[in-house]
């Protein structure tokens, strides 16, 4: 883009690029997004005691112990389910069960096993995701604690902490951080 003979980088949606007359959203200058990022990071540096520390404590205090205990319970139930399935197969092989009853019980055990495995997988992903977020918040907190106020945009900082940008309007964007929070910032034109 250029204005008054000066060239600059601007961001716009794919609809705007393919058909400018069909899109009501206007472009956003790259420099405005970078300035908003620097402002947001400076707010985090200044207010890390009020934003990042409580977030880190909250993530650490989430009930991971209960989740680990539940995962252990599920593993025992999955093991019992497998044993029941083996006993059922043995009874069928010896001719003690009718095929219809065997199939009904076998299907019931398979469904229960799938439910238990799905719950275990969900809890495992939750615990692992929580641990990853704790590490990301810790990483950001270490930076904010040691850093002085930023005076310029740095690509490396952006790449270290930002997952993606969400454009709410031409005046406001959100930075979705790798630690799981989204912080809104006004664009200054």
Q: How many domains does the chain have?
A: 1
Asked whether residue 107 is assigned to any structural domain, the reply reads yes
Q: 3-state class of 161 per DSSP?
A: helix
Q: Is residue 27 situated within a structural domain?
A: no
**Residues 163, 44, 134, CA angle at the centre, nearest 5°?**
55
User: Among residues 131, 185, 132, which one has the least CA distance to residue 158?
Assistant: 185
Give 62-94 pLDDT, tens digit per residue.
Answer: 767 788 889 999 999 999 999 999 999 999 899
Residue 19 is assigned to a structural domain of this protein:
no
Letter string b/e over residues 11-43, b meaning 16 or more CB atoms within 10 A of that residue's CB: eeeeebeeeeeeeeeebbbeebbbbbbbebbbb
Whether residue 171 is contained in a domain is answered as yes
Determine how many CB atoms are found less than 10 A away from the CB of residue 81: 18
- Does any domain span residue 16? no
Asked if residue 46 is part of any domain, the answer here is yes
Tens place of pLDDT per residue across the chain (189 aa): 445 556 655 566 555 556 666 666 666 777 888 999 999 999 999 999 999 999 888 887 776 778 888 999 999 999 999 999 999 999 989 988 899 999 999 999 999 999 999 999 988 888 887 888 889 999 999 999 999 999 999 999 999 999 999 888 878 889 999 998 999 999 876
130 C-beta neighbours (distance < 10 Å), count: 17
The range of the structural domain enclosing residue 116 comes to 34-186
- In-domain check, residue 134: yes
Q: Is 12 within the bounds of a domain?
A: no
For the entire predicted model, the pTM comes to 0.63
């Amino acid at each position: 883009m250029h204005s008054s003979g000066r060239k600059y980088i601007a961001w716009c949606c794919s609809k705007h690029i393919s058909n400018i007359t069909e899109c009501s959203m206007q472009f956003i200058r790259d420099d405005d997004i970078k300035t908003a990022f620097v402002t947001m990071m400076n707010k985090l540096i200044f207010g890390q005691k009020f934003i990042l520390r409580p977030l880190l404590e909250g993530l650490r205090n989430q009930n991971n112990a209960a989740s680990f205990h539940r995962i252990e319970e599920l593993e025992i139930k999955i093991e019992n389910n497998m044993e029941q399935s083996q006993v059922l197969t043995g009874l069928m092989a010896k001719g003690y069960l009718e095929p219809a009853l065997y199939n009904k019980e076998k299907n019931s055990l398979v469904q229960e096993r799938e439910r238990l495995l799905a719950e275990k997988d969900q809890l495992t992903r939750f615990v692992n995701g929580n641990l990853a977020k704790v590490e990301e918040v810790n990483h950001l907190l270490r930076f904010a604690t040691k850093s002085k106020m930023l005076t310029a945009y740095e690509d490396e900082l952006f790449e270290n902490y930002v997952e993606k940008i969400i454009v709410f309007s031409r005046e406001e964007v959100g930075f979705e951080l790798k630690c799981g929070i989204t912080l809104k910032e006004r664009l200054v034109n």
